């Protein structure tokens, strides 16, 4: 098929942060991008607390000034406490204490995702991407084992096959491509359930912790609660717990939520006068792995390629960086024609980074008390703060080889069973990537 008869260079399924970022990059660089989004933005979405590394990609695509001007609540740090911690006593990790090299600003934001995602999709459009909203991709079209286009359908029955040189799956946890190619596997280590909503009259912390992401551990395995401040005095509050605990509880969502909040002295205190202003939002079965992130004519980005437990707020970081690296890969393939090698490198780069998030999260759950001690230890806390900044993709150095001899905050965890004899998580010397 000739270039003229193609509908785009790249068709992107989904207009969330991953799809909009890729569409922007392609548009800015003269490639024809077509984003197809099934909903009409603004649409609600979980995932409101960002990590500072997202600034690097937002800056690169020219979106950071818009984000800064939107009035979202700045997030200068993250902290957590245990179920019986004294009131307002947290392990406090200010993000500016160990900033990412090259980051235009050492803080980030809590965002209402309906608002931010709408702004980001509009930004893609402003930068040259075509955007179809209210149109669902119902299938990916393959010819001779190569993705060549998609079947798109609108609610009014309009249906069309659209063709491009590349199809990128940014459909989020729907995992369109991975489901079609049977590449998706459930993560056996995490089988969580999340319930959250927005509230008013949640008590906010003392001034020194204003805007921080507050995490409450509630004394159950792999379970925690969050309190994120939003604009106009609203707070996003949610709990994550093993799905079995909900199934066994025999109570409804409201009662279950309140029971979990009541397990932490501090959490119960801040929620004692809270008034819920939206229905509960429930998410389950959200951790999975995908065997392959790219193949002939196709790539996956964002949640469509993998989802790891959200405790470190890693989701939008993965969405943005995978979009950036997918852009670089597509651009290189279009210039050199060397598809397989480039797509293999894309897979490895993202996989290594997401594995780093995954290992850190597993380590955190497994050795929470130990890591809490590290987090307050003057020698090690900077490594933990660095982990919370995001961007663990090579050639940055979250991950080192087995022969690493440099200081490493998890070195004492030889028996934790995670990946290598050395922990593989440090030392976090300055990044050289992303720009």
Ligand X SMILES: Cc1cc2nc3c(=O)[nH]c(=O)nc-3n(C[C@H](O)[C@H](O)[C@H](O)COP(=O)(O)OP(=O)(O)OC[C@H]3O[C@@H](n4cnc5c(N)ncnc54)[C@H](O)[C@@H]3O)c2cc1C
| CB 169 within 8 Å of CB 175 | yes
Residues 285, 31: Cα–Cα separation, whole Å: 36
Q: Which residue has the tokens 């969050």?
A: 226
Residues 244, 127: Cα–Cα separation, whole Å: 46
Among 6, 10, 12, 14, binds ligand X (CB under 6 A): 14
Least distance from ligand X to the Cβ atom of residue 378, Å: 28
47 binds ligand X (CB under 6 A): yes
**What value, to the nearest 5°, has the Cα angle with vertex 286 and ends 26 and 390?**
55
Among 18, 147, 384, 397, binds ligand X (CB under 6 A): 18
Report residue 253 as tokens: 């969502």
**What value, to the nearest 5°, has the Cα angle with vertex 397 and ends 294 and 368?**
95
Among 136, 234, 289, 386, binds ligand X (CB under 6 A): 136
229 binds ligand X (CB under 6 A): no
286 binds ligand X (CB under 6 A): yes
Provide the pairing of β-strand 146-154 with 135-143. Answer: antiparallel
Least distance from ligand X to the Cβ atom of residue 417, Å: 26
Name beta bridge partners: 132: 36
| Residue 86 neighbours by CB under 8 Å, 6+ apart | 265
Among 17, 27, 52, 394, binds ligand X (CB under 6 A): 17
Least distance from ligand X to the Cβ atom of residue 21, Å: 8
For 430, counting Cβ atoms within 10 Å of its Cβ (0-12 exposed, 13-18 middle, 19+ buried), the class is: exposed
Least distance from ligand X to the Cβ atom of residue 408, Å: 26
Least distance from ligand X to the Cβ atom of residue 13, Å: 5
* Site track for ligand X across 66-105, x = CB under 6 A: ----------------------------------------
108 binds ligand X (CB under 6 A): no
Number of residues near ligand X (by CB under 6 A): 36
CB-nearer residue toward ligand X: 171 or 396: 171
Strands of 274-341, DSSP E: 275-276, 281-284, 288-290, 294-295, 298-300, 306-307
CB-nearer residue toward ligand X: 266 or 313: 313
35 binds ligand X (CB under 6 A): no
Count Cα atoms within 13 angstroms, Cβ side, for 224. Answer: 21
| CB 52 within 8 Å of CB 100 | yes
390 binds ligand X (CB under 6 A): no
Among 93, 178, 308, 316, binds ligand X (CB under 6 A): 316
Which residues, 359 to 388, sit near ligand X by CB under 6 A? Answer: none
172 binds ligand X (CB under 6 A): yes
Least distance from ligand X to the Cβ atom of residue 53, Å: 10
Least distance from ligand X to the Cβ atom of residue 283, Å: 4
137 binds ligand X (CB under 6 A): yes
Determine the length of the chain: 435
Give the binding range for ligand X (CB under 6 A) out of 12-20, 84-92, 371-379, 404-412.
Answer: 12-20
Pick from 43, 38, 44, 45: which is nearest to 155 by CA? 38
Q: Which residue has the tokens 């008034």?
A: 275
CB-nearer residue toward ligand X: 392 or 404: 392
410 binds ligand X (CB under 6 A): no
34 binds ligand X (CB under 6 A): no
Q: How many CB atoms are located within 10 Å of the residue 23 CB?
A: 33
Least distance from ligand X to the Cβ atom of residue 206, Å: 22
Residues 392, 100: Cα–Cα separation, whole Å: 11
Residues 120, 294: Cα–Cα separation, whole Å: 24
Residues 327, 350: Cα–Cα separation, whole Å: 13
Among 146, 151, 174, 276, binds ligand X (CB under 6 A): 174
CB-nearer residue toward ligand X: 171 or 266: 171
49 binds ligand X (CB under 6 A): yes
| CB 306 within 8 Å of CB 257 | no
353 binds ligand X (CB under 6 A): no
Residues 166, 148: Cα–Cα separation, whole Å: 7
Give the binding range for ligand X (CB under 6 A) out of 4-12, 122-130, 254-262, 311-319.
Answer: 311-319
Residues 376, 386: Cα–Cα separation, whole Å: 14
Where does this chain bind ligand X (CB under 6 A)?
13-19, 36-39, 45-50, 136-137, 170-172, 174, 176, 194, 240, 283, 286, 302-304, 310, 313, 315-316, 319
């Amino acid at each position: 098929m000739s270039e003229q008869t193609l509908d785009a260079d790249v068709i992107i399924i989904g207009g969330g942060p991953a799809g909009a970022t890729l569409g922007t990059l392609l548009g800015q660089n003269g490639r024809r991008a077509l984003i197809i989004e099934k909903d009409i933005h603004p649409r609600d979405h979980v995932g409101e607390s960002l990590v500072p590394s997202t600034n690097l990609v937002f800056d690169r695509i020219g979106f950071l000034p818009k984000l800064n001007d939107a009035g979202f609540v700045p997030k200068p740090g993250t902290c957590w406490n245990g179920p019986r911690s004294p009131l307002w006593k947290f392990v406090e990790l200010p993000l500016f204490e160990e900033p990412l090299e090259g980051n235009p600003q050492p803080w980030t934001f809590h965002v209402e995702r309906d608002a931010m995602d709408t702004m980001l999709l509009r930004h893609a459009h402003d930068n040259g991407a075509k955007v179809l909203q209210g149109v669902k991709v119902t299938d990916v079209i393959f010819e001779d084992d190569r993705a060549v286009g998609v079947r798109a359908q609108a609610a009014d029955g309009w249906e069309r096959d659209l063709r491009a040189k590349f199809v990128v799956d940014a459909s989020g946890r729907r995992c369109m491509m991975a489901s079609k190619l049977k590449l998706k596997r459930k993560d056996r280590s995490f089988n969580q359930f999340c319930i959250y909503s927005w509230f008013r009259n949640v008590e906010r912390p003392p001034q020194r912790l204003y805007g921080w992401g507050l995490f409450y551990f509630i004394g159950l395995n792999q379970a925690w609660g969050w309190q994120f401040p939003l604009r106009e005095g609203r707070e996003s509050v949610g709990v994550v717990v093993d799905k079995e605990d909900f199934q066994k509880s025999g109570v409804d969502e409201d009662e279950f939520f309140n029971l979990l909040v009541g397990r932490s002295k501090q959490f119960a205190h801040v929620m004692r006068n809270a008034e819920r202003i939206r229905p509960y939002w429930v998410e389950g079965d959200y951790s999975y792995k995908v065997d392959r992130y790219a193949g002939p004519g196709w790539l996956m980005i964002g949640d469509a390629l993998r989802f790891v437990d959200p405790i470190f707020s890693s989701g939008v970081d993965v969405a943005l960086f995978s979009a950036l690296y997918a852009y670089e890969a597509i651009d290189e393939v279009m210039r050199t024609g060397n598809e397989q090698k480039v797509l293999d490198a894309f897979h490895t780069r993202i996989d290594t980074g997401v594995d780093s998030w995954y290992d850190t999260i597993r380590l955190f759950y497994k050795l929470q008390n130990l890591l809490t001690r590290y987090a307050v230890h003057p020698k090690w806390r900077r490594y933990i703060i660095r982990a919370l900044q995001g961007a663990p993709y090579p050639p940055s150095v979250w991950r080192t080889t087995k022969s690493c001899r440099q200081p490493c905050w998890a070195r004492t965890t030889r028996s934790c069973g995670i990946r290598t004899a050395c922990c593989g998580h440090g030392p976090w010397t300055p990044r050289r990537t992303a720009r």
